[in-house]
Every structure is written in structure tokens, then in C-alpha cells.
Amino acid sequence: MKTSSKIRIAILVTIIVFFVCYKLAISKTLHLRQEYVALSKDKNQSNTIEEQIGSLLKKEVYLDSMLTSLNLGSNSTQNSLLDFISRQEVKNKIRVVDFNPAHTVTLDEGVLVTHDIKLQGDFLGILETLYELETNSGLGSLSHVYFIKSRNPRTKKSYLQATLFVEEYR
């Protein structure tokens, strides 16, 4: 055999060896490398998602605390008013005798909604409730307060009732 044919055979064998090595080892390594890069991206995305979830949970807790501090938990003023008065019942030892449906009047400036509430208890408890309602609740303004001192004929005890109108402009 001549040297030129030996060189050609060596080159051909080298090419075949490279092709076999590529098919058996290198292609699988490149494929696994691509999978590794894709999984690394997914891992980074999952880490950022976990960070975003954590920040969103902190934001939710913060906004919930703001809602509770501003008494904005409910959209309905009537529900908010009932919630406020129920908290004041325990605090000021009063009770709600009557809570009539809201009266709505349409004016040029907007809609005037008036809530009619009747409370029963001692004078100071009712007065403290009225003060809290007017100053700290943000649920409307008192337009009328009417006190009635009555006597229960069976027990012969007197009690105080207050009728109040709470107005809200929408």
C-alpha cells in the first residue's frame, strides 16, 4: 500500500471516528446541556415567582391593615353603619332598638341617603356613640337627634331612647 492511500484511509477512519464519537457522546452531552440551561431558566423564574408571591402577600397584609384602619371593608354604608354601631354596643353599653331602611332623595348636587336609627341606653353611652359616629367613623353626619325618656309599665324602670338620622351624600 502506498502512503497516499494510507493517508486517505487514516483521514477516512478519523472522520468515521469523529462521527461515531459525536453520535455516541457529544450529541447527548450537548442535548443535556440544553436541558440544563432550560431548567436553570425555569429555576430562576420560579425563584422570582416566589419572591413576587412573598412581596404580594406582604402588600396584601399591608392593604388589609389599611382597610381595617380606614373602615373601608365594606362597600355598603348601611352594613358599615351596622358594624360600627355593633362595636359601639359593647363598648358603650347601648343597644339598637330599630334600624329602618335608608331613605334616598335625589338632589341637584347628588343623592342624599338618610339612615334612621333608634338606640337605647344611658345618656353618656348614647352621647359617646354619637360623638364617635360624627367624628371618627366617616359614615356620614348626624342631621337630627331626638331623645325620649320612657318608663316600662311592667318593671316601672325608666330608660332613654335616642332617634338619630345619619345623612350621607353620594
The residues spanned by each domain of the chain are 1-70, 77-169
Q: Which amino acid is at 52?
A: Q
Q: Where are the alpha helices (DSSP H) in the chain?
A: 3-21, 27-70, 77-92, 123-135
| Structure confidence at residue 76 (pLDDT) | 74
- Whether residue 74 is predicted with pLDDT greater than 70 in this model: the reply is no
Poorest-pLDDT segment among 68-72, 111-115, 133-137, 141-145? 68-72
| Structure confidence at residue 147 (pLDDT) | 92
Q: Which residue has the higher pLDDT, 147 or 27?
A: 147
Cβ-based neighbour number of residue 77 at 10 Å: 17
- Model confidence at 71, in pLDDT bands (50, 70, 90)? low
| Structure confidence at residue 73 (pLDDT) | 43
| Mean pLDDT calculated for residue range 33-46 | 86
- Whether residue 75 is predicted with pLDDT greater than 70 in this model: the reply is no
- Model confidence at 148, in pLDDT bands (50, 70, 90)? very high
- Whether residue 72 is predicted with pLDDT greater than 70 in this model: the reply is no
- Provide CATH code, domain 77-169: 3.30.70.60
Distance CA 88, CA 90 (A): 5
Residue 72's SS3 state is coil
- Whether residue 162 is predicted with pLDDT greater than 90 in this model: the reply is yes
Instruction: Write down the pTM of the prediction.
Output: 0.53
Distance CA 160, CA 137 (A): 23
DSSP 24: I
Annotate 98-110 with three-state secondary structure: EECCCEEEECCCC
- Model confidence at 165, in pLDDT bands (50, 70, 90)? very high
All three cell numbers of 142, joined, read 348626624
- Who contacts 70 (Cβ-Cβ below 8 Å, separation ≥6)? 138
Task: Summarize pLDDT for 96-110 with one digit per residue, the tens.
Answer: 888 888 888 888 888
Burial (0-12, 13-18, 19+ Cβ within 10 Å), 93: middle
| Structure confidence at residue 169 (pLDDT) | 81
With CA atoms as reference, report the closest residue to 147 among 157, 135, 162: 162
Give Cα separations from 92 to 36, 50, 69 (angstroms): 67, 46, 20
- Who contacts 149 (Cβ-Cβ below 8 Å, separation ≥6)? 158, 159, 160, 161
